Structure 1
C-alpha cells in the first residue's frame, strides 16, 4: 500500500510538471487565445493545488484524461496563433494555410494567399469573396480580380487596359469597375498622383465571370473611385472636370447622371454609401493645398441629393479612405501618423471615438468591412521586402468589435378573429 501511494505521489508530481510546462509554453506565445487557454489550464492546476486529494479520489486515469485534453487544447491554440508560412496543395497549387502577420496589440491578421501585388479590396454581398485590382508577375498593368476570402479561388475578369477601383452589385451577379480599356491612345497617367489621373478612365459593368461588359460613361475624363449603393439603385463615383474632383451618381444602366457635390474649394473622392442608401461618406482636401505633401485631409458625409454636408474629422491630420460598417454608426479609415506612417482606425460617428486597429511600421490603408461585420480587408506593405512599396491584401478578424448590422425584429401584429 505504501508503494502504491508513493507511485501515485510520483505520478501526481509528473502531471503537475506537465501542466506547468504547458502553461509556460502558452505564455511565450503571447496571443489572445493562448492566454485564454493558459488561464484554463492554470485553473486546473490551482484546483489540484487546493485539493491535492482530488487526484487520489478521482483516480490517476481521470487526471490523465484531463491532462491529455489540456495538451490537445494547447496544441490547437498553438496552431491557431503561431505564424504559419503558406503551404501548397499538391493538387490545386493553391496555398491553403494562412500566413499570419499580426503586430503587437493587433487583432488577428493574415495575408490573402495566392495574390501578389494587389490594392483596394471590397467584399461581395455574402462576405465570401473579394474584388480588387492586381498586377500579375507577367503583366505591367493592373487588372480586376475576384478571389474567395481563403485565397483558394482567384480569377482575373478583365485583361485589357489598366484597371482600378471596383465593387460588387448587391445581387452578387454583377460588378462595376474602372478601366482605360477603350482609351489606350490617351496618356496613361497615374492613379495616385494629383493632377495626373488617367483621363481615359471610364466605368464598366460586367458579370462576375467577366462576361457581358457594358460601358457606363463615355467622356474621356477621369471617372473612377466607384462603388454601389446597398439597394443597388445607384453607382457612385468621382469625376475630374477641368481639374476639379466631385462626386457623381448614375444608374446601373448609365442613365440619370447626377452631380452630388459642387465645392470649388474642395476635392472630393473615395466615396461609399452608408447602409441607408442615402448618406454618402467620403474624404476631401483643400483645392488650394492639393500639391502640398503635408496637406490635411478630412472625412465628410453628405446626402446623395447634395444636402447636409457634414465634417466628421477635424484634427489637422490626413484622414482618408473611409468605409462604413454594417451597423451604420462606425466606419474604418486610414490615418497618416507623423512622419508618414499610415494606420487603420475605426471611428464611432456618434461619439467621435477613434480606435486604432493596426500598429505596423509598414503602410496600412484602403480598409473595407465585410457585410456581416466579421472581417476587415486592407492593403498593406507589411509583407514586402525592406524598402519596397509593394502592396497586397490582408484580412483582419474584427468580430469582437461589434459593428455588424443590428437585427431589427419585425413588429408583432395581433390577429383579430372574425
Structure 2
C-alpha cells in the first residue's frame, strides 16, 4: 500500500514539473487551435527556406534556401544546420552543402551521414530560368537538367548518384537505409522510382498518367506516401502539353499510399485543391500533409497542415496561423516536428518562408486545447 502511495505521489510530482516546464506566454509563435504543437522555435529568418528534413540521429536539419544572408547565388542551394541552431566547430551556423552553382532541391540525409540532393549545376553553373505561370496557369518548373547527387556530410566529394535523360529529383531515404524513392521523367511521365542503395537497382513504382512526386517512407520502411494528380479529359491534354514544356500545374493533387514495391495503392484523400507534402505520423497509421482545400472558396491561397488516418477518416487541422504552413516532418524519435511557414511572432503579413521546430504533443491536454495566443 505504501509503495502504491509513493508511486502515485511521484507521478503527481512529475506531472507538476511537466506543467511548470511549459510556459504558454513564451510560446509566441503558436496560434490558437494548434493543439499538437508546443514550444515553437524559428530557425531561419529571411527569404525562402523549405523542405527541412531531419538527420537520422535527430541532431541536424537539411534544407534548401535562397536567403540572401547565407546564399548569394540567386536560387535555392542546400544547407544544413544543427537542430538547436548552435554553431558548427568553424563558427558557421548555416553550412552550405551543395556546390553553390545551378539550382538545387530536395536535400536529404543518408543513414551513414552523407547527404543527397538534386541539382542542375553540371548543366549550367547559373540559375535556370524560372517562371510561375505558363498559359495563364500557376506552374512548377520540371528541369530536365536535375540529377541526384551524393556528397559527404560537409558537402565535399560530390558525385552523381542518379542521372540520365530527364528530370530526377525529390529523393528521400527509407529509415532502414536500404532505398531511395524519387521522381523521374525517364519513362516519359512524372513517376515514382525506387533506387536500391546497395545494388543500384532501379524499379518503377507508378505508371498512371499524372504527377507522382514528393514521396516518403513509413517508419517501418514498408510503405510509401506521396502526392499525385490524375488528370482526365481536357485536363489530361493540358497536363501533357505543360510537361512537354517543362512544367507541371500543382492545383489538383491528392495523397496516396502503397507498399514499397508500388503495389496495393490506396488513395487517402479526396479533397479539392492541392493536397501535398505528406509525411507519416510516427505510428505509421496517420499522415500529415499540407492542403488548401479549406480555402478554395477564397482563392486557395491559405495552406495549413492537416492530419488524417490512412483509411481517409479523422481529418484534423494541425496548424492555424492564417499563413502558409507546409513541409511537415517528424524527428525519428517522434518527439519533434519541423515545418516551414510564413508565420512570425509579430503576427505581421510576410512572404518570407522560414523553418520552425516544435515539440509534438500526441495527447493534448487543457494547456493545449485552451491555449490563448499572447496579443
- Using the size of structure 2 for normalisation, the TM-score is 0.75
Match among 102, 122, 142 for residue 76 of structure 2: 142
Q: Secondary structure at the match of 1:215?
A: strand
Coordinate RMSD, CA, aligned:
3.2
1:358-407 deviations in whole A, cap 9, x for unaligned?
Answer: 111110011111111111111111139966422110122213349xxxxx
1:232 correspondence with 2:177: yes
User: Greater Rg, structure 1 or structure 2?
Assistant: 1
Residues in 2 aligned to 1:248 and 1:191: alpha-carbon distance in whole angstroms: 27
Q: Displacement of 1:343 after TM fit? A: 0.4
In the alignment, what sits opposite 2:146?
A: 201
Instruction: Tell me if structure 1 keeps the 8 A contact 2:215–2:224.
Output: yes
In the alignment, what sits opposite 1:122?
A: 53
In the alignment, what sits opposite 1:324?
A: 280
Match among 103, 123, 139 for residue 162 of structure 1: 103
Residues in 1 aligned to 2:354 and 2:286: alpha-carbon distance in whole angstroms: 25
Match among 380, 387, 395 for residue 357 of structure 2: 395
Q: Secondary structure at the match of 1:82?
A: helix
Structure in which a larger fraction of residues adopt helix: 1
Instruction: Tell me if structure 2 keeps the 8 A contact 1:375–1:398.
Output: yes
Residues in 1 aligned to 2:312 and 2:267: alpha-carbon distance in whole angstroms: 14
Q: Displacement of 1:252 after TM fit? A: 3.0
Q: Secondary structure at the match of 2:362?
A: helix
Residues in 1 aligned to 2:279 and 2:359: alpha-carbon distance in whole angstroms: 16
Q: Secondary structure at the match of 2:284?
A: coil
Instruction: Tell me if structure 2 keeps the 8 A contact 1:195–1:243.
Output: no
- The farther-off stretch of 129-138 and 193-202 is 193-202
Residues in 2 aligned to 1:215 and 1:168: alpha-carbon distance in whole angstroms: 16
Query: What 5-or-longer segments of structure 2 have no aligned partner?
Result: 1-15, 88-93, 133-137, 243-247, 365-375
- Using the size of structure 1 for normalisation, the TM-score is 0.67
Instruction: Tell me if structure 2 keeps the 8 A contact 1:204–1:214.
Output: yes
1:248 correspondence with 2:205: no
Aligned length: 315
- Larger RCO, structures 1/2 (Cα 8 Å, 6+ apart): 2
Match among 260, 269, 289 for residue 304 of structure 1: 260
Match among 96, 108, 120 for residue 38 of structure 2: 108
Residues in 1 aligned to 2:120 and 2:349: alpha-carbon distance in whole angstroms: 30
In the alignment, what sits opposite 2:335?
A: 374
C-alpha change, 1:146 and 1:195, in structure 2 (3 Å) is closer
Residues in 2 aligned to 1:191 and 1:370: alpha-carbon distance in whole angstroms: 34
